[in-house]
Chain A
């Protein structure tokens, strides 16, 4: 009891160091938020606080925000519909130790390793001539799915490869379940933790994705991060900062909500 109450010098040094690191990381965020709320950032806080810049961003860039949300959700839907069965195939093909499956798994990671610019250029070269596709949100979605798919497949695959799930499937099969019935009745309900972990990554990455989107976008398919770059480049610093503020307000509740869902589900279904 005494030991836990009396902290030595070492403890305080460590605490100070930790706080210092935290400050180093958090101060820029706070500065950015303040910048979005001050009347004139160059004069400083003495110029007064205002919501003017936030309103301006909301008026000018509202659409980019909705677009980002739509794309993130569409991206989540596509990666889940494609990624979960894909992970199942990779986990079960040839009893789960096929070289082909491992090659496919590595190939999936390629768009993450290759610079987004290169992926985007390749997409434009291949499909740029299809004007209506090129100018639609679908084009952006394709880029996002390419980039985020491995983040859905990997966690799901990890859960599916657990030997416990393989035995569950054998048990279901012994009771007469076909592959389809096993997939929907036993596999999916028991890999929800993996799917949620993947979903969290996919939504987060899609909302923040800049590289690929910047190359692929048209003025009519601009997403939030691209809009942010646009506003920093062409407008006052305060506007860009207000934009960041809106981005934070949007993404933080989303992340907390998804984390909460993931935690409650994991507690219920444990493999």
Chain B
């Protein structure tokens, strides 16, 4: 149904009227049919990037936006052929569901009979058969966003842009709509840009993820790349839960207060920060050999399929451990912990400050 198109941003920067730089010059290529997720904390420039692709903002002098081979830098949004889905639905309250979906078709002077057929087909696609005559205020949040999606797809856009489309929904709806959205994007094979601050959404939906920080791209990669091979401390800490332990490099290991972490190839005496995921920590009995470091259980959270433990290791932050073992632990108990070397990411201590942002 769509002939997908690639998107290319060349040296796109954005400075707002009051002089604040929202975006450093960025280069970005989106493959035809790819779903690219822009992920980052608020104010990182992800929405500005999306709006630049949409044609709602224009890049500073020298920046270029290309759809396929066509330079669309100077085209306003109404001439770019993009479909857009907004966080707050942005459905026209003065029109019914069907009229909303047909709005773009009407502008394109599609004949009424064909319009009706298209409305039905689109409603079926988003699982809202028979709701064509409903008023917008009679719909639930999830239904509203489905209508918005149908409306955006009705005009067969070259590019689909989604600006935090699931943020306004409650958790359960978010999950079902996310699954439907995922299916739909794969089936249509449309080039899509998806903006979110939710890493779960990003990983579930994105073919590739662009992690952004302070108007810059921190890393571009597949969800696996981003999760397992973060290129810097910011990305490592922003995606998923991450333990951070600082220490000093010694022969073949990193010396920390509570013990030592297996880490080779670090320059001796350098201060470094080791990061590892809660699921990569293994619990061993306190007396057993093979523990890398020790700590006291502060609290445990039973989560059904796994148990999450907060372990005090004498550092500022507790270590979080997630285990599938069915043992019971009680607060104050001393336990040994082990992390295999390949699960540890290590960054020079100097980058630690940028991490505070990820939590902000």
- Write the residues of chain A forming the contact surface with B, with a CB cutoff of 8 angstroms: 95, 164, 167-168, 170-178, 181, 185-186, 189-190, 269-271
Contact = CB atoms under 8 A, between A and B. Distances in A.
A170 B56 contact: yes
Given A174-B82, A174-B83, A168 B107 contact: no
Contacts of B107: 175-177, 181
List the 5 shortest-distance A-B pairs measured between CB atoms, nearest first. A175-B104, A174-B84, A171-B90, A189-B94, A167-B90
B108 interface: yes
A176 B78 contact: yes
Interface residues on B, range: 20 to 34
B62 interface: no
Contacts of A170: 56, 77, 84, 86, 90
A178 B107 CA distance: 9
26 contacts: A95-B17, A167-B88, A167-B90, A170-B77, A170-B90, A171-B90, A172-B103, A173-B56, A173-B77, A173-B78, A174-B54, A174-B77, A174-B83, A174-B152, A174-B161, A175-B103, A175-B107, A175-B152, A175-B154, A176-B79, A176-B81, A189-B92, A190-B93, A269-B93, A269-B94, A270-B93
A178 B94 contact: no
Contacts, number: 68
Contact of B93 (A173, A177, A178, A271): A271
Interface centre among A174, A181, A186, A271, by most chain B C-beta atoms within 10 angstroms, is A174
B233 to A, nearest CB: 35
Contacts of B103: 172, 175, 177, 185
Contacts of A189: 92, 94
A211 to B, nearest CB: 39
B137 interface: yes
Given A175-B104, A176-B107, A177-B107, A168 B92 contact: yes
Contacts of B86: 167, 170-171
B52 to A, nearest CB: 13
Helix, strand, loop or mixed for chain A's interface? helix
B137 A270 contact: yes
Interface string B58-95: 00000000000000000011110111101010111110
Contacts of B82: 174
Contacts of B108: 176
Contacts of B94: 186, 189-190, 269
Nearest to A179: B78
Nearest to A166: B90
Contacts of B9: none
Nearest to A97: B17
B155 A172 contact: no
A177 B151 CA distance: 13
Contact of A175 (B56, B93, B137, B151): B151
Contacts of A186: 92, 94
A185 B152 CA distance: 17
Given A167-B90, A175-B155, 8 more contacts: A164-B88, A168-B92, A170-B86, A171-B84, A175-B78, A175-B103, A176-B108, A186-B94
A269 B152 CA distance: 22
A181 B79 CA distance: 13
A190 B100 CA distance: 14
Nearest to A268: B94
A172 B76 contact: no
Contacts of B78: 173-178
B165 to A, nearest CB: 12
Nearest to A182: B78
A199 B88 CA distance: 30
A166 to B, nearest CB: 9
Contacts of A172: 92, 103
